Chains A and B, each alone.
Chain A
């Protein structure tokens, strides 16, 4: 249908589009700013006036950051943590979700009720902290993995998806003699890529961006994730410690603590910013499944 557009309509369209362009600019600019700053000579950037483009282009900031073994270790810890925890989380939580969904499962109501309570009530930071300590997970890599393997809210999202799958597939597989685990891995999982991708993205982003576990559960610098490293550099007023790492002396390299921070921020953020547009169509769907369940 075509409707003649009135003057008011056109004015509204123009205002609306302008508003959206402003929002996009405000959203992108801070990110653009750190990228530009990170590619500019540190000492030059201190003079100010760098807004849209590097004035003295250099890769020195990145070279310095990558030559710092603490940062590269932290980066690798983050990659390992994200990959391992996300994989295990998606597999484990979906497996439990599938089992909890099957009507014949004895204890199903109790299991689900137990999980529902956790959505509304928890022990809080201190009892959790004491638990992690007494389990011996404190200051080990496993503190990222084992407590991060399961989440009841994600279980509900998985279940909402599994419910839509045709049940005949399970039945025919059962007649062919497959056990529940085989049905789950061979039939349910391959059909569930959209929801697996969604949860993987959520859990992946969480694990990539989390700094707090590294602050409270880790004091071995070799195990600290990059966000924790960055947090320590940024939040502590004495952020010059990063400069101390710069090899070859600061004077010769034109880098400053500020420009190094910017480069670290870019390195920290880029991997996730690069993957999310590809997963967008999945997470929009996934968020909705979660929303319907409320």
Chain B
């Protein structure tokens, strides 16, 4: 092999290597600023990605990622045969689906209505107030919800006083209410925050469009539906792709706080199950396999949503 390289090539290789060193020396400060970031990514992003191999192994703490024995697809097979498999899929997709169904259009509607407010001052006040819940932690919100939804809580008091309920209900102790609670509380928390992006998109619409429409005799609703909404459809498309790709994430922080053994049949979503199997039951390989299964579905959803939106609206993430 050595002889295959002509002296000339060796020469040029040497000089290009020297050039490289020279360039490296020239940008040593720049590289010194960049490389710590690369190292951080290798450690905290790429080593865990590599660690996924334990999904195909029987992980043994004393042996580590590399030396633990291979078991092939056994962990996946076990998960698909798990008696809770369909329940978990149903909960994950179900909660996310209803969050998408309710939580996606409402911020758009809120932004459009907010934009129609005449008083600028009132508009800003409403905006500031609507962001507030975004800054409250799920722990605190979970605390409020547990208090309000308990048998002696505010919701039961109101509902019984209004005559809607005869007997108070411990809402968080019954699986059938769990999905509703997660959807409503998430909408409450993120409505204003999620509207920011649409508000900004609306603010960027050329006012001349509205003026021209007014001259043509368009009323308020015509302008809303024929100008405002079409003009922000690009933003809506992008946000939709992101929302769909998050379908397998049903908001861990929220569900982790609100779940309890009584509502487990409705609150066991993939992420919670990974936590229960991995962190609580120390079944590292099994939990990693479940997590990997989720990541693959999520990636497929992202690609599908991106392609579909591209076809339908000509807008896409990549």
Contacts and interface: CB of A to CB of B under 8 A. Distances in A.
Contacts of B116: 12-13, 16
A288 B34 CA distance: 26
Nearest to A97: B37
Interface residues of A, number: 91
Contact of A111 (B37, B65, B278): B37
B317 A105 contact: no
- Interface of B: prevailing SS: helix
Interface stretch (B1-9, B95-103, B128-136, B174-182): B128-136
- Interface of A: prevailing SS: helix
A149 to B, nearest CB: 7
B113 A19 contact: yes
Interface stretch (A65-73, A116-124, A160-168, A246-254): A116-124
Contact of B302 (A16, A120, A122): A120
A82 to B, nearest CB: 12
A129 B138 CA distance: 22
Give chain B's interface residue range (CB within 8 Å of chain A): 35 or more
A144 interface: no
B200 A291 contact: yes
Nearest to B318: A294
A48 B148 CA distance: 12
Interface in A61-101: 92-93, 95-96, 98-100
Interface of A: 1, 3, 6, 8-9, 12-13, 16-17, 19-20, 23-24, 26-28, 30-31, 33-34, 48, 92-93, 95-96, 98-100, 102, 104-108, 111, 114-115, 117-118, 120-131, 134-135, 147, 149-150, 152, 155, 179-181, 184, 205, 208-212, 216, 227, 230-231, 234-235, 237, 258, 261-262, 265, 268-269, 272-273, 276-277, 280, 284, 287-288, 291, 294
17 contacts: A1-B214, A6-B219, A26-B188, A30-B141, A96-B37, A102-B30, A123-B47, A127-B288, A130-B59, A184-B33, A234-B143, A237-B260, A262-B147, A265-B140, A265-B143, A276-B132, A294-B317
